[in-house]
Amino acid sequence: MAALTVVISHCVLCFFPYLHTGDAANIVSGWETTFFNSPFLVIYSGGFSVAVFFVISGYVLSRQFFQFNSTEFIRKAAAKRYVRLGMPVFGAVMLCYGFSRLGLYPAERVGLPKFLAESYAHPLTLGDAMIDGLFGAMVFGHRTFDYVLWTIQIEFFGSLGLFAFLALVGKARGSCIYAALAVVALVATCGDDGMFFSLFIVGAYLHLWASPLRFIPFVVGIVALWLGGYHWNSAAYAGPVWLANLIQSYGVPLNWPVFFNAAGAIMLTWSAVQPGLISNVLKSRVLVWLGEKSFSLYLTHSFVLTSIGAFLFLRGPLDGSARYFLASVVVIGMSVLLSMLFTYLIDAPAIQAANNFARWSAEKQPSMTTGMTLTAGTASAAFGS
């Protein structure tokens, strides 16, 4: 659902930009102002969804640690991480290059919304694609070939940072205190990236916060969805804006949209992993099926938007907002279809390859100096696996 929200968010940014900016100059149709001032902005809140990704990763990657109180899985989990993320990233980068070579992106950008006009408009070379696919996106956060890949660098280093934290102090007395200090330090010193990195730690420690009553997760989940749609120009968020201004007046400067998205993501993930209505809904066959395609959907939808979406914006049937609705529906549908193919050809093999590599790297091998052996336990999966 979070991945699908990102797709909707990018469609809205292209076809109904007022819903993102709150600038009256961007209004396409009259209904937009009513919706913008409603408490339902979470439907297209891509920033909130990205924060959810990071919290979920922290929760899933640490699951075996909190279940078995053991760090044995960490070596294997860390070993598989680059392969697990890297193969789909490489596939997405090469797919973007292929779309470019086939001329599927618009050659003429006049008349397109700024976001579409600037997407993949520069020359895309095979050499640059190889560099970004192999390490540029993962290590350095390059997003030339896929503008969503800025999150993959955070996902990769956030995962490794979480493994290191758990290995060092995860079993220590007062581990929760160390976790809280680490979160404060990251937010205080590393800006937005620090807030994102801190979500991995918070996600891990959600294992320790059980709900005392069954109705509480539902209430928290509803509040989380409202908070996840935060926009400073929307009348629905006058309260959080007032609170942010008050806190900032005491010398606590934060990127408030990121902060409220992060807070909502923590609350929503916590409510989803507790027994109750939200957890039961998320177990439905349709959502489980979509979840299997989520990483692929996230990685590849921008190519559909920049090709088919741009064509429909310029030459599609219907007029005005009806055309943009049609373009959004087609882009979402075609993105899901592409994600099915990408999952079968790239993502599912990447999961298997990562598991095989982790097992191979964990096999007992004699030490060159002492004859000691290295072993590792099972590893948990995350971010689309």
Q: What average pLDDT score do residues 6-28 get? A: 95
Q: Is residue 373 part of a domain?
A: no
Is residue 160 within 8 Å of 82, Cβ to Cβ? no
Is residue 197 within 8 Å of 50, Cβ to Cβ? no
Domain that holds residue 221: 2-358
Convert the pLDDT of each residue in 32-46 to its tens digit.
Answer: 999 999 999 999 999
pLDDT at 377 over 80: no
Q: Is residue 374 part of a domain?
A: no
Q: Is residue 272 part of a domain?
A: yes
In the chain, how many domains are there? Answer: 1
Q: Is residue 372 part of a domain?
A: no
Spatial neighbors of 217 by CB under 8 A, at least 6 apart, are 211, 270, 271, 272, 274, 275, 276, 277, 278, 279
Q: Is residue 191 part of a domain?
A: yes
Is residue 194 within 8 Å of 187, Cβ to Cβ? yes
Convert the pLDDT of each residue in 234-293 to its tens digit.
Answer: 999 999 999 999 999 998 889 999 999 999 999 999 999 999 889 999 999 999 999 999
Q: Is residue 378 part of a domain?
A: no
Q: What is the mean pLDDT of the chain?
A: 91
State the pTM of this model.
0.91
Please state, as a whole number, how many other Cβ atoms lie within 10 Å of the Cβ of residue 252.
Answer: 10
Q: Is residue 145 part of a domain?
A: yes
Q: Is residue 294 part of a domain?
A: yes
Is residue 373 within 8 Å of 364, Cβ to Cβ? yes
